[in-house]
Copies of this chain bind each other. A is one copy, B any other.
Amino acid sequence: MTKTVLVVHAHPDRRSLTHQLATTAKHSLAELGHRVLETDLYAERWKAVFDADDFLAPVDPERLSFISESGHAFATGTQTPDVAAEQAKLLAADAVIFQFPLWWFGFPAVLKGWVDRVFAFGFAYGYRGAGNTYRYGDGALAGKRAMLSVTAGGPAEDFGPRGINGPLEHVLFPITHGTLFFPGMDVLPTFAVYGSGHLDEAGVVAAKRALAGRVAGLFTDAPIPYRRQNTSDYPDRHSLAPEVAPGVTGIPAHIAAR
């Protein structure tokens, strides 16, 4: 069945590995018969900094509360057109692929600014004006899928279970869990290309082939089994029930055994 997939990517050079991999993703999706939407943040000169200019009809022009202004602008259609367009793409998409270089173990600022601005109150948090009722597996983006596709300069071993950087999936937890699963998306394990600064031609070919394989599994691979808020796992919506992963703390406690 034809799906719609949004590819968001963040590198200014069209010959970069990021662009090459974004192109691989787009071509693979098209070959699979899917419809592709695209956000090329550098080409679009995306405004990264969330500020008063984001609110075209502010509730309080004297005092900038991001939560109240974001909620008001979203509810009244007074967001900026670039933000509204990205939200429409997200709502149209069945899945989103993010292709970016890992900078300081996270998003490049332009991609963080896409989240800061697009993930409005009432849309990605505070859904239905119900505080935190809908989050972590439940929300406006529930039923959609997401996958991070990153290039990292360092070697894979630095991101291993006992690697010095911390495990890749734990370092990315604020994004995969805190940003994408939060408004309801099912997040696939991250696709990573390591040693990205030193790839030879064969390495690039192998990376593209591996990504194409992951794109082929976008709607069938098992997502990271993050626990959903609105289950008995979190009876008070704040903390894990004592009988869930007893004695386990930190990030692993929020991932169910498969």
A interface list, Cβ under 8 A from B: 12-13, 15-16, 42, 46, 48-52, 63-67, 101, 103-110, 112-113, 115-116, 119, 132, 136, 153-155, 157-158, 160-167, 170-171, 173-175, 177-179, 182, 197, 229, 234, 237-240, 248-254
Q: How far, in angstroms, from A254 to B197 measured CA to CA in the complex?
A: 26
User: A104 is contacted by which of B115, B162, B163 (Cβ under 8 Å)?
Assistant: B115
User: Are A51 and B109 in touch, CB under 8 angstroms?
Assistant: no
Q: How far, in angstroms, from A45 to B215 measured CA to CA in the complex?
A: 39
Interface of A is mostly: loop
Contact residues in B for A165 (Cβ distance below 8 Å)? 178
User: A103 is contacted by which of B116, B155, B234, B252 (Cβ under 8 Å)?
Assistant: B116
User: Are A106 and B110 in touch, CB under 8 angstroms?
Assistant: no
A249 and B167 contact, Cβ closer than 8 Å, known pairs A174-B106, A238-B158: yes
User: Are A162 and B249 in touch, CB under 8 angstroms?
Assistant: yes
